[in-house]
Amino acid sequence: MEVSKTQVAIIGAFLVSMACLIFAPGVVGGDYSVVAHTTSEAAAQGTEGAWLARTGFLLFGLGVFWLSIAKRTWALSARVVHGAFGILLIAAAVYSHRPVVEAADYDQFEDTLHSIVSTSMGFVFALGVLIVGWRRVSGWKVIDFVALGATLVVPLAMLTTSGWDGLWQRGMFAIAYVWYIVEAIDTHRSIALDAFS
């Protein structure tokens, strides 16, 4: 299987993004916990080292947006929806969550925008996976069902369990990364991935 430069760039963006989000808690410091605190809280306003988590969001968003343009075998509706997901990820990097420290000053409007963007991301990702799975000539993949299941289970788990939000959300991110990487690798019917080469 031949791998294009575009695929390498997109997958590279995903992998560097993952690394940023994995290492971000180490630069945030303080009382930050990967189990209790979300990735948005690692990228929060006024948080030392937040740039690393924000970079992770930005690279993930750029990678998804690029894939949505390059993946010509996706239906137009899937490309638009996944492109929107990429833009929402970029917006999550621009508009930050309030700080973990309760007493710290923060921009409430920016925090509200971040909440809207973050909530929208879950719905948009699920819709994008649903469209791709439904329209795929070769049928559904196991990872499609895993991704769709996670978009239902993770938010419910975050609402019903206490102190585990970070772990649940990181699981959702891991599944999303895997889903997009699988889509970027699939070249059997995706020769047009070299759109920008």
- What is the pLDDT at residue 197? 41
> What is the value of pTM for the model shown?
0.91
CA dihedral 60, 83, 94, 15 (to 10 degrees): 0
Structure confidence at residue 134 (pLDDT): 94
From the CB of residue 121, how many other CB atoms can be counted at a distance below 10 Å? 23
3 state SS of 153? helix
18 is written with which tokens? 């993952």
What does the domain layout of the chain look like in residue ranges?
A: 5-194
> Is 1 a residue whose pLDDT tops 60?
no
From residue 85, give the alpha-carbon distance in Å to each of 91, 125, 155, 180. Answer: 10, 6, 17, 12
